[in-house]
Amino acid sequence: MELKSLVLCEFGGSYGEQDYRSPASAGGGESDISRRLRRLHKQDSMMSLRNLSEKKKKIISGNTAIDHIMEGLDRWGFNIFSLHRIVKEEGVMYYVGRECMHRLGLLEHFQLDETKFEGFLRLIERNYHKLNPYHNSTHGADVAFNIFFFLRHGGLGETLTPLESLALFTSALVHDVDHPGMDNNFQITTGSDLALKYNDKSVLESHHTSTFFSLLKSHPDADFLSALPTDAKKTFRRLAVSSILSTDLSQHFEILQAVKGKLAARGCLDVSQAEDRILLLQMAIKTADICHVAKPIAVHRRWCKGVQDEFWRQGDIERDLGMSPSALMDRSLPLQAHSHKMFYEVIVSPLVDTFVEIVPSMVHMKKEMVQNMGYWDLFEATVDTLHESERGMVERGEASFSLTSSTLFELLGRSEAEVAVALQAADPSSVTTSFTEGNEDSVLIRKGENGE
């Protein structure tokens, strides 16, 4: 059953009556927040998020290149790296966050200060670590874009209240703020200050949540939520906390099984129930967080490289501390392609399949995912072939280095000639990576070429 028909069935078609109610009060009388806001807005002005957002026009930035890229914001294949190439880490979140929020119409709906929201975007962007290969502000902006798309084009905005939509979109923006680039296991194993502070439980996710609300409190000029009524702020915080904490992969199977159990029992989530609405928000942000596997292959590969680079960086730090590098984080070992493939098969694929069952308008994600899973099948076969090729060339004296994980990852998908160049090089450092202007896909070049 599609979400829209379900919510109309549960609420008798009167979506506008629910705009400012918390999930807990949805089944009872009109909330105090709703009564207060009703005096400020005529009944006919209360509309669904979809109707409100359809009236919004794009923002003109004044930069032709940026405006051209942002034209693609309503397409699932939107390539955030094209924007990153122009503005780097100093504006991706600002432009994406501002435009998405504008098109959703949420600032206008809640009469929130646009200048404060823009300051908030700049503040959050500065508090992401720009040197992180993966957990940086571009990732935060990309997850927020995914939520935007679910709300605007996936039908989610017709089911969630505007306050839930605001909490979900904002949570996506901040869900990895101040991420140190080393995972929860590293924090706990090393006994970091964060692990001690949060008692080894959802360490980073708790830190991201705390950092978000602390920044709002310490920067009133960026507290765009200050105009919300007190009860709405409390509901927003509850929704944001549960959403951000759900991105901890240690909670993954518990949340997924809870949703699957409800779908098996009823065939749908009962959005008249607060528990099911929370699960819906959690499923949305969890899917948005790791669904690059359901994006066009060039985008997916770029994110995969970021993940692997951050893994290797952590492995290097662990080695420097006298620790054994964690699984998949030792760049000196042969690349374990099957482990990457297994992550998508065990974690991502079941999550996307279940999310699409709840939000059927996003079914196209499954097609992209299947295609990209085929790519990882090829990845695994290619790695095996390269290892065999290297062994043969070493035996013939045509190569003199071990084909490590990092080199293999760069070689994946390259032509036979490029692979031969890398294998015949004196060492892996003679191979580096650049990105083409057209599709952001990686190509091999030799150091000393292209003016380097």
Give the number of other Cβ atoms within 10 Å of residue 424's Cβ. Answer: 12
CB within 8 A of 179, min separation 6: which ones?
128, 129, 132, 135, 204, 208
Residues annotated as catalytic (active site), given as ranges: 135
> What are the tokens at 359?
């939000």
Bridge partners of 442, per DSSP, are 435
Tell me how many degrees the CA angle 59-108-91 measures, rounded to the nearest 5: 40
200 and 57 in contact (C-beta within 8 Å)? Answer: no
Q: Using CB atoms within 10 A of its CB, is residue 28 exposed (0-12), middle (13-18) or buried (19+)? A: exposed
Distances (CA, A) of 55 to 17, 49, 61, 65, 111: 20, 10, 19, 24, 16
Pick from 215, 277, 282, 275: nearest CA to 244? 282
CA distance 239 to 243: 6
Report CA 411 to chain centroid distance, whole Å. 26
